[in-house]
Amino acid sequence: DKNNGSSITADIQFLDASYHLHPFTNTGALNKKGARVITKGEGVYIWDSEGNKILDAMAGLWCVNMGYGRQELTDAATQQMTELPFYNTFFQTTHAPVAELAKEIASVTPGDLNHIFFANSGSEAIDTIIRMVRQYWAIKGKPYKSILISRENAYHGSTVGGTSLGGMSGMHKQGAPLLPNIERIRQPYWYGEAGDMSEEEFGIACAAALEEKILAVGPDNVAAFVGEPIQGAGGVIVPPANYWSEIQKICTKYDVLLAADEVICGFGRTGSWFGSETLGITPDIMSMAKGLSSGYLPIAAVAVGNRIANAFIEHDDDFNHGFTYSGHPVSAAVAIANIKLMKQENIVEYVANDIGPYLQKKLRDMLTDHPLVGHIEGVGLIAGIALVKNKETKELFPSDLDVGLICRDHCFDNGLIMRAVGSRMVLSPPLVISHAEVDELCEKARLCFDLTL
Ligand code: PLP
């Protein structure tokens, strides 16, 4: 009940404010108002300690793809924890969950990306990519081929490697200096940055920036280009349709490895197992996390094709990289159960052919005419909505108004979680969301946009 709820809320908020430093948070400001206390989840809903039921259109943090409260995942964890809670894979040992999970992942990755290295977070997977592609070129006798190229406004995690590779200026300002040998090019944000260019012209111009950068630093010095198929944390930016094929051609031309950061796009989010398939990318190396275990336990992976795998396998030396919990047996058991559940429930087909198109249409039908909405973009169950002051000129609200945060707070108060990235509202609901729940999501979004006006 509400009174009991309020006292629980106050107790937890007190502990939280006294002892907990939150990630990506102005802790002083949060402590003054108190964090919302989340207590349970079921399906696409979460509840807070005040008893409010909230539709979680962010699937936690782009991760609870199979929804909350899946007994199959809990059972897999319990069983594995009872049998063998931990063993390492560093020193000539393995175990069934890690070996079986590698095979399960290989069964869904595109092309020949059948060799899997494990980590615990997306950031660790990205650090693994940075070290692996450089070591690959070192094995090939080209240690100077060490520069990685990424994009402005890309998010690749918050370790030193992930921060350096990412293109988030707010992160670059803190905890510097960043890693050397990382270069960035413009992002393919057609709605916001194309000016008068058509989508196709803009796709070519953004890809041409990669060729210019490669030539500027010298093709012999470039190890890899890294990109999210669709930028997620940058605001859900879907590139022009021709962008990735142009990028692919340029990488091939200069023998630059192509790395897809699939931490958000992987595991069905865009209506294919991986965003690379939806966007027409054939990567040499791929990171994944989040949806791999539907967020039930931390686990991440890097998948490589024969080209990279064979270089490491045939090179008679250790790869001096890994984490105590690389391939943790309990996380691996949950990830196996998660992939099996996804297959049993044909969830990728559901996103591709049914609920993905339904959400995309419903969002546009219900929100396009709203005075705040400048543009809606998205594929499958990921979408970004640009909020603007003026629909015709695309003029934005002053940034100190924080219109996105105002809208986000209205959402929360009205039983909906959407995330604000600047003035873009983003969403990526659990893949198991039903038609009726999509209707509820869109109705609540409309209401909250009205309240934000
Ligand atoms: N890469 C991408 C594309 C991400 O979206 C994220 C997290 O949102 C990461 C890497 C970092 O993952 P983690 O927070 O698990 O370290």
| Residue at 6 is within a domain | no
> Mean per-residue pLDDT for 311-338?
97
Half-sphere exposure of 163 (CA within 13 A, CB side): 15
Based on the structure, what is the number of domains in the chain?
2
Of 263, 290, 323, 426, the one to substitute when testing ligand 1's pocket (max ligand atoms within 8 A of C-beta) is 263
Q: What is the pLDDT of residue 406?
A: 97
Instruction: Identify the band that residue 343 occupies on the pLDDT scale cut at 50, 70 and 90.
Output: very high
Q: Do 82 and 169 fall within a single domain?
A: yes
Q: Identify the pLDDT of residue 177.
A: 94
The Cα 363–Cα 439 span in angstroms is 9
Residue 189 confidence (pLDDT): 97
- Write down the pLDDT at residue 222: 98
- Find the 226 Cα to ligand 1 centroid distance in Å: 13
In the predicted model, what is the mean pLDDT of residues 155-172? 97
Final residue belonging to a domain, choices 344, 364, 379:
344
Residue 16 domain-assigned (yes or no): no
Task: State the distance from the centre of ligand 1 to the C-alpha of 287, rounded, in angstroms.
Answer: 9
- Which atom of ligand 1 is closest in space to residue 289's alpha carbon? 15
Q: Could you tell me which residues come within 8 angstroms of residue 222 by beta carbon, excluding any fewer than 6 positions away? A: 145, 147, 148, 149, 214, 254, 256
Ligand 1 atom nearest to 124, measured from its CA: 16
CA of 156 to the centre of ligand 1 (A): 5
Residues in the ligand 1 pocket, defined by CB under 6 Å: 121-123, 126, 155-157, 162, 228, 232-233, 261, 263-264, 289
Whether residue 244 is contained in a domain is answered as: yes
pLDDT of residue 1: 52
Q: Is residue 21 part of a domain?
A: no
**What distance in angstroms lies between residue 171's CA and the mean position of ligand 1's atoms?**
14
d(CA 320, CA 286): 20
Name the residue of 164, 236, 269, 290 to mutate for ligand 1: max ligand atoms within 8 A of Cβ.
290
CA distance 66 to 433: 9
d(CA 272, CA 251): 23
How far apart CA 132 and CA 148 sit, in angstroms, is 12
283 pLDDT band, cuts 50/70/90, is very high
Domain span at residue 378 reads 36-66+347-452
* Residue carrying structure tokens 């030396």: 317
Determine the pLDDT at residue 40.
Answer: 97
**Same domain membership, residue 353 and residue 334:** no
Q: What is the mean pLDDT of residues 200-220?
A: 98
In terms of domains, do 53 and 90 share one? no
Among residues 344, 378, 393, the one where a domain terminates is 344
Whether pTM > 0.95 for this model: the answer is yes
- Domain check: are 198 and 320 in the same one? yes
Instruction: Identify the band that residue 104 occupies on the pLDDT scale cut at 50, 70 and 90.
Output: very high
Query: What is residue 5's predicted lDDT score, i.e. its pLDDT?
Result: 73
Whole-number pLDDT of residue 190:
96
* CATH number of the domain that residue 203 is part of: 3.40.640.10
- Say how many C-beta atoms besides its own lie within 10 A of residue 11's C-beta: 12
Please say if the pLDDT value at position 362 is more than 80.
yes
Candidate from 24, 63, 156, 236 with most ligand 1 atoms within 8 A of CB, to mutate: 156
Q: Is residue 115's pLDDT more than 60?
A: yes
Confidence of residue 206 (pLDDT cuts 50, 70, 90): very high
One domain for residues 329 and 351: no
At residue 288, does pLDDT exceed 60?
A: yes
In ligand 1, the atom with minimum distance to the C-alpha of 261 is 3
* Index of the ligand 1 atom closest to the CA of residue 231: 3
Statement to judge: residues 144 and 254 lie in one domain: yes
Check: CB of residue 395 under 8 Å from CB of residue 374. no
- Which residue's C-alpha comes closest to atom 7 of ligand 1? 157
Q: Which of 344, 361, 377 is the last residue of a domain?
A: 344
- Average pLDDT in the 432-440 region? 98
CA 87 to ligand 1 centroid distance, Å: 26
Ligand 1 mean position, distance from CA 157 (Å): 5
Is the pLDDT at 311 greater than 60, yes or no?
A: yes
Question: How far is Cα 74 from Cα 410, in angstroms, rounded to an integer?
Answer: 33
What's residue 6's pLDDT?
82
Same domain assignment for residues 50 and 107 = no
pLDDT at 35: 96
CB atoms within 10 A of CB 64: 28
Average pLDDT, the chain: 97
Q: Is residue 1 part of a domain?
A: no
3 pLDDT higher than 70: no
CATH of the domain at 372: 3.90.1150.10
380 pLDDT higher than 90: yes
* pLDDT one-digit tens code per residue, 6-21: 888 999 999 999 999 9
CA of 231 to the centre of ligand 1 (A): 11
The predicted model gives 185-210 an average pLDDT of 97
| Predicted ipTM > 0.95 | yes
Distance from Cα 167 to the centre of ligand 1, integer Å: 13
3-state helix, strand, coil in the chain (%, to 5): 45, 15, 40
CA of 51 to the centre of ligand 1 (A): 30
Percentage of residues in the chain having pLDDT higher than 70? 99
Is residue 23 included in any domain, yes or no? no
**Which pLDDT tens digit goes with each residue over 19-49?**
999 999 999 999 999 999 999 999 999 999 9
Closest residue by Cα to residue 424 from 442, 407, 448: 407
Domain match, 324 and 265 both: yes
Does any domain span residue 368? yes
Average pLDDT of span 338-353: 98
Q: Do 122 and 263 fall into the same domain?
A: yes
96 and 122 assigned to the same domain = yes
Looking at the fold, whether 357 and 332 belong to one and the same domain comes out as no
- Please classify residue 195 by burial: count the beta carbons closer than 10 Å to its beta carbon, then call 0-12 exposed, 13-18 middle and 19+ buried: exposed
Is the pLDDT reported for residue 425 higher than 60? Answer: yes
Specify whether 282 is located in the same domain as 340. Answer: yes
**Is 238 part of any domain?**
yes
| pLDDT value at 2 more than 70 | no
